Amino acid sequence: MAVAGTVWACAFEDDTPASIFSPEAFVSKQYTPFFYDSENWYYGKNVEVDDNNQRFNNQVIDEWDAYLKHKLNPATLNYLLLKGDRKGIDSVYNILSGTTPPPKQDSISMDIGKLDKNTLNNLFDYLRLAKDCEKFAIAEDRGWYSDPGPAPIAPDGLEEQLTTAFNSSKKPFIKQRLLFQLVRYYYFFEDTAGRKKHQVNNQAKILLLFNKYQTKFPQNLTYYRTLGYVAGYYRSMHNYALANYLYSRCYDFSYEMKIPSKFSFHPQDDADWQQTLKLAKNNEEKITLWHLLGMEYDPLRAIKEIVAIDPKSEKVTLLLSRVINAREASDNSIYYLPRHNLYQTQDSINSVENLGISIDERKVVDSIALQNNTAKPYFWNIAAGYLHYIHKDYAQAGKFYAKAKDQLPADDKLVMAQYKMLCIFLDADQLQRIDAQTEARLVEPLNWLRDVQKNGTIEGLRVGNCSYAIASVYLKQGDTLKAGCFIDTIIPYTNNKWVQKMIDLINKPNKTPFEKTMLRYYPYTINNLYYHQAIMCAYKEDIDKAIAIRSKIDTIRYDTLPANPFNIHIQDCHDCDQAAKQKQKFTSITFLKTLRNIKADLNAGKDRYRNALLLANAYYNISYYGNNRPFYGSDIFTGVEIYSQKIAEKYYLLARNYAQTNDQKAKCTFMAAKCEHNNYYSLPESDVTTPWTEKYFTELKANYSQTNYYQDVLNECGYFKDFVDGKSHAPTKNADHY
């Protein structure tokens, strides 16, 4: 069961959730599955077969436990009712009756001794039949991608057994459950020909049986589960009016009945919907029907109808929350409401076509809020204000929020937090300029907001972030540094001047209260910034400065490099290098110091081929293409330097100059070719001016074809083999593809 939904998306790159309106603050918990969710059928989850199979387990256990007067221990009851199959039930009964000796190793301690013989026999007689019914009534739990296979078949002979047991049963508790089993059996088995014709047969056994006995038993969970199968029969015969009415009665019975009833409720056209409405026996039943229709189709129409019947109905609050959360999910004028010409009035159809649904929403919610006669006037005023806020009508939003303020339940922590957060957002969005006085005023609300963001102390609150609004004002004022504290992507981190400004601000000894608050929104620590500076220096070959800055960091996470940065191979295999045994593990600081020593030896003329090659390998491996990407994997994006192969290429060519054998020269040439390829990969796809060349492949083929290394490259590198065979072609640009 999957549906297409609108995915919440942010207009900028930060951690702001698209929804800051929490239905949990206003709507009864029993309606939680139906809170608006743009990604799942039911709120926060998909409903799988397993959920349907286990939905009533707790209630079944509790009812049987009460009937048996708590004489069975929980493990025994759970096994008998839910875990054991027909074979297992027979085995347990045979052991208890003495027919079969108990096993030496019994995983479940069966404690049946407190039950009298008559109760024991009644229980097991029923369980045998119930387990036989499970074979066709309980769907196999499969993945969404699995073929469901043919529908299970209800066996012919089972009807007689169920009927005999039902007619002979003297215990109302068990007799009602046998009625449920029989009705379910007939739903799966009876009147196949009638189903094909989609014609209700009033003489169908399922209807005759249910109608005869429905008043003989209490209207409990078993009754409504039975009624659900009767509704299913009517639906299968295309009598949608009656089916949907019966589903609405099941929906109203209990929390557990709500999901299957809502899932099955589905009017087809306005004619059958009007028939369904006529079946309602009272206003509460009408409200339930509109409530269900509002979730399925047109919530605004349903809201108006329910409020006209009873403005204090709690069922209307769910629809209001869904309207708001759907509007958050898509502030376009057309959102999750389908273009369904059967359930929308002509006015609402025109609203969709004229992109005016959002205006209708505000009109409807405003008018109800202004009546001030609902069960939760503060909810309607907050909702009206928030809808105006979404559409930047801040004056009206403020008026409705002000009305709600005096109506708030002061002892409700979640409601109070929701109201405060919405007011903070309204205030932030209206800022035109932020001066010292405004900053002082913002300290308390921004600290409060950051506390609830970080601590999650208010359950159910969807915590938002007003950083974008504040950052926008600072940008208009030309204060990039303060803007960057709230939206860090504003800071140009490739420019060390700006990085140093952030470091200086964090290290500032006498910060103002607002600066302290502002920095709580900044996502990076002083160590993050120092590390960023250090690796930027490393990519500029300023190793001494890189070491000096890196030495300022006390601790750093995941600092050990996963592979030896000085090794290189014909084929790049990061996983292989990282899995290989390493004689020495390098951290960022030991790597930088080793790099400095190698460079010093090279400059001193020591072992120049080896040292130049080690430097080339190191700069290759700390690039995007190398085996030590974590080196630049700080929280701050390093920039294009991680893609550049210019330094590595420079040292490979230097090593070739110092090489003493042709094999060494062949190796350096091939590695320079890898750098050449990688540099080309890194070009933007829009760059059509840089030609694809194979300079180093040409040199390798022309000058070193007699070397062993050449043969190794020919065997291992498909690109080079294609080149030699005359099949060469330019690779796709854009490093993200590789």
Residue 210 inside a domain? The answer is no
Q: Are residues 602 and 706 in the same domain?
A: yes
Q: pLDDT at residue 357 above 90?
A: no
Q: Are residues 568 and 681 in the same domain?
A: yes
3-state secondary structure of 587: strand
**Residue 291 contacts by C-beta under 8 Å, 6 or more apart in sequence?**
302, 306, 313, 315, 316, 318, 319
Residue 431 inside a domain? The answer is no
Q: CB-based burial of residue 683 (10 Å sphere; 0-12 exposed, 13-18 middle, 19+ buried)? A: middle
Across 631-652, average pLDDT: 87
Rg (CA), the chain: 36
Q: Are residues 719 and 604 in the same domain?
A: yes
**Exposure string for 119-143, b = 16+ CB within 10 A, e = fewer:** bbebbbbbbbbbbbbeebbeeeeee
Secondary structure (DSSP) of 390-453: HTT-HHHHHHHHHHHHTT--TT-HHHHHHHHHHHHHHHHHT-S---HHHHHHHHHHHHHHHHHH
Q: Cα separation of 721 and 728, whole Å?
A: 8
Q: Average the pLDDT over each of 107-111, 164-168, 287-291, 326-330 and give the range with the smallest value.
A: 107-111
Structure tokens at 496: 């060390």
pLDDT score of 113: 62
* Closest to 364 (Cα-Cα) out of 319, 420, 401: 319
Residue 384 inside a domain? The answer is no
Q: pLDDT at residue 419 above 80?
A: yes
CA distances (Å), origin 440, targets 520, 581, 698:
15, 57, 67
Q: Are residues 610 and 700 in the same domain?
A: yes
Percentage of residues of the chain with pLDDT beyond 90: 70
Which of 466, 491, 523 is the C-terminal boundary of a domain?
A: 523
Checking 360-368 for CB contacts under 8 A at 24+ apart, the result is 360/300, 361/300, 361/323, 361/327, 361/387, 362/387, 362/388, 362/391, 364/300, 364/303, 364/304, 365/320, 365/323, 366/400, 368/303, 368/307, 368/311
* Closest to 328 (Cα-Cα) out of 46, 5, 1: 5
Residue 722 inside a domain? The answer is yes
Q: Give the model's confidence band at 73: pLDDT under 50 very low, under 70 low, under 90 confident, else very high.
A: confident
Q: Are residues 462 and 596 in the same domain?
A: no
pLDDT score of 157: 85
Q: Cα separation of 643 and 652, whole Å?
A: 17
Structure tokens at 498: 């700006």
Residue 493 inside a domain? The answer is yes
Residue 42: strand pairing partners: 45
Q: pLDDT at residue 347 above 60?
A: no
Q: Give the model's confidence band at 11: pLDDT under 50 very low, under 70 low, under 90 confident, else very high.
A: very low
Q: Are residues 453 and 599 in the same domain?
A: no
Q: Are residues 615 and 513 in the same domain?
A: no
Amino acid at 367: S
**Residue 360 contacts by C-beta under 8 Å, 6 or more apart in sequence?**
300, 347, 348, 351
Secondary structure (DSSP) of 205-267: HHHHHHHHHGGGS--SHHHHHHHHHHHHHHHHTT-HHHHHHHHHHHHHH-HHHHHHHHHH---
pLDDT score of 96: 72
Which of 491, 523, 555 is the C-terminal boundary of a domain?
A: 523
Across 699-723, average pLDDT: 95
More confident: 4 or 253: 253
Domain of 473, in residue numbers: 439-523
Q: Cα separation of 453 and 520, whole Å?
A: 11
**Residue 419 contacts by C-beta under 8 Å, 6 or more apart in sequence?**
378, 382, 401, 404, 405, 408
Q: CB-based burial of residue 161 (10 Å sphere; 0-12 exposed, 13-18 middle, 19+ buried)? A: middle
Q: pLDDT at residue 158 above 70?
A: yes
pLDDT score of 301: 95
Q: pLDDT at residue 353 above 50?
A: no
pLDDT score of 52: 74
Residue 684 inside a domain? The answer is yes
Q: Give the model's confidence band at 195: pLDDT under 50 very low, under 70 low, under 90 confident, else very high.
A: low
- pTM of the entire predicted model: 0.81
Quickly tell me which residue has 């057309």 as its tokens.
334
Q: Cα separation of 5 and 335, whole Å?
A: 9
* Closest to 375 (Cα-Cα) out of 36, 32, 30, 27: 27
Residue 568 inside a domain? The answer is yes
Name the domain count of the chain. 2
pLDDT score of 135: 85
Q: Are residues 608 and 495 in the same domain?
A: no
3-state secondary structure of 42: strand
* Closest to 403 (Cα-Cα) out of 376, 427, 428, 382: 382
Q: pLDDT at residue 345 above 60?
A: no
Q: Are residues 472 and 586 in the same domain?
A: no
Which of 523, 548, 579 is the C-terminal boundary of a domain?
A: 523
Residue 213 inside a domain? The answer is no
